[in-house]
Amino acid sequence: MAGFNLGEKLIFQGSGADSTYSSASDLINAILPNVYVAAGLVLFFMFILGGFNVISGASDAHKMEEGKKTITFAIMGLLVVFGSYWIIQIIQIVTGLEIL
C-alpha cells in the first residue's frame, strides 16, 4: 500500500514539517493564532462591503437589504470566532495545556 508523508513535503525553514513540529498539536498551535488574524481581516472587509452596499443602495431596497445581510452575517461570524476563542481559553484553564 502506497503512502504519502505530508510532513516530508511541507518545508519550513529548510526542514520538513515532521522535524519542525513533533506532533499535530504543535502544528495546530502554530496555525491557530493566524486563523484568528485572518478571520479578523475577513470580518473587516465584510463590514466594509456591507456598509458600501447599504450606502450605495439607498435608492435600491434590494441592494440595501443585501448590505444589511452581509453585515448581519459578518456579526454572526464574529460571534462564532469569539466563541471559539473563549472555548479554547476554557479548555486551556481546565486542562492546563497552553494552546494559544
Give 18-58 as a 3 state SS string.
HHHCCCHHHHHHHHHHHHHHHHHHHHHHHHHHHHHHHHHCC
80 compared with 3, residue with greater pLDDT:
80
Task: For residue 11, give every residue at least 6 positions away whose Cβ sits within 8 Å of its Cβ, in sequence order, or none.
Answer: 17
Q: What is the pLDDT of residues 35-55, one digit of tens each?
A: 888 999 999 999 999 999 999
pTM for this entry: 0.67
75 compared with 28, residue with greater pLDDT:
75
Q: Give 15's DSSP letter.
A: E
